[in-house]
Amino acid sequence: MAIHPLTDPSLTPESLKTAPVQEVFSSIQGEGIYVGKRQVFVRFAHCHLKCAYCDTPMTSPTGQCHVETPPGSGIIEYHHNPLSAETLVEIIQSLLKTAKHHSVSFTGGEPLLYHQFLRSVFPDIQRLSKTYLETSGTQADFLESVLPWTDIIAMDIKLPSATGEAPQFENHARFYATAQSHPTTECFIKLVFNQRTTLEELAEVRGIVTHRQTPIILQPETSLSDRTVSILPSQVFAAENYLTQYFDDVRVIPQTHKMLNVL
């Protein structure tokens, strides 16, 4: 008999039952291959990385979990943190009823910091909708524990020219290989790049992404101050030309949710 994650004794009780969640809301996906799709978003607090372009607060303004309901209303309902798995599933269930949604996006911060918690909620969510994991793509061991219940992975490959941080290429390679080990999980790559990005960095992407059918999304960095994109068209084409030699599906997609002014 299959053991339900909530009753699996190998998992530690507290990390399984609660997690700090900043907000849960229904909106439009603004990045990647599912841009424009309606999703419920679950935004976790905190991240182990510090990307220079990061536009996400690491905690909510009140420390509580904010739930905008009804979607688009600006009316916020507050829930105490850390949030229980049962409460999160109930909130998602009620938001899914407000419209037809493509999937439930788990984002952050880094959602995989709470992989045991995710393991306890993903099976329930999968009964309601597809699970979509937005991740830095650096923690293969954490991914393993939720992979059987993950439908879509939006995996970042962090380019030091954009993050201002040390390379994560080895971690990305392990993560990508783990993602590929589960045939029904779809995975695409997101590369935030800017005018300092080099072809050497893009060559590292070739080494990590071993399947040429994996979609590669080039996402021009958006300025944190005025929300504009400052990379030159010639630089966009140079990056795109290089990657299309090695991958069948390369797309340049800026962040679109900022244009719509939605959450």
- Nearest alpha-carbon partner for 5 in 118, 132, 153: 118
Q: Which of 51, 88, 153, 173 binds ligand SF4 (CB under 6 A)?
A: 51
Q: Which of 14, 36, 56, 227 binds ligand SF4 (CB under 6 A)?
A: 56
Note whether 108 binds ligand SF4 by CB under 6 A.
yes
Note whether 4 binds ligand SF4 by CB under 6 A.
no
Token look-up 């788990």 returns 106
Q: Beta strands of 31-90 (E only): which ranges?
A: 38-44, 65-68, 76-79, 83-84
Note whether 59 binds ligand SF4 by CB under 6 A.
no
Note whether 109 binds ligand SF4 by CB under 6 A.
yes
In angstroms, rounded to a whole number, what is the distance separating the alpha carbons of residues 191 and 260?
A: 22
Q: How many residues bind ligand SF4 (CB under 6 A)?
A: 10
Question: Of the listed pieces 49-57, 73-81, 178-186, 205-213, which binds ligand SF4 according to CB under 6 A?
Answer: 49-57
Cα torsion 215, 38, 72, 109: sign:
negative
Note whether 223 binds ligand SF4 by CB under 6 A.
no
Note whether 31 binds ligand SF4 by CB under 6 A.
no
In angstroms, rounded to a whole number, what is the distance separating the alpha carbons of residues 32 and 166?
A: 24
Q: Is 97 helix (H, G, I), strand (E, B) or coil?
A: coil
CB of 110 to ligand SF4, least distance (A): 6
Residue 157 φ/ψ region, left for φ over 0, alpha for ψ in the -120 to 50 degree band, beta for the rest: beta
Q: How do 152-156 and 216-220 pair as beta strands?
A: unpaired
Task: State the DSSP H helix or E strand holding residue 87, giving kind and residue range, or none if neither.
Answer: helix 85-96
Q: Which of 28, 49, 96, 253 binds ligand SF4 (CB under 6 A)?
A: 49
Note whether 221 binds ligand SF4 by CB under 6 A.
no
Residue 205 backbone phi and psi in degrees, to 5: -60, -40
Note whether 143 binds ligand SF4 by CB under 6 A.
no
Note whether 50 binds ligand SF4 by CB under 6 A.
yes
CB of 58 to ligand SF4, least distance (A): 8
- Interface residues with ligand SF4 (CB under 6 A) are 47, 49-51, 54, 56, 108-110, 136
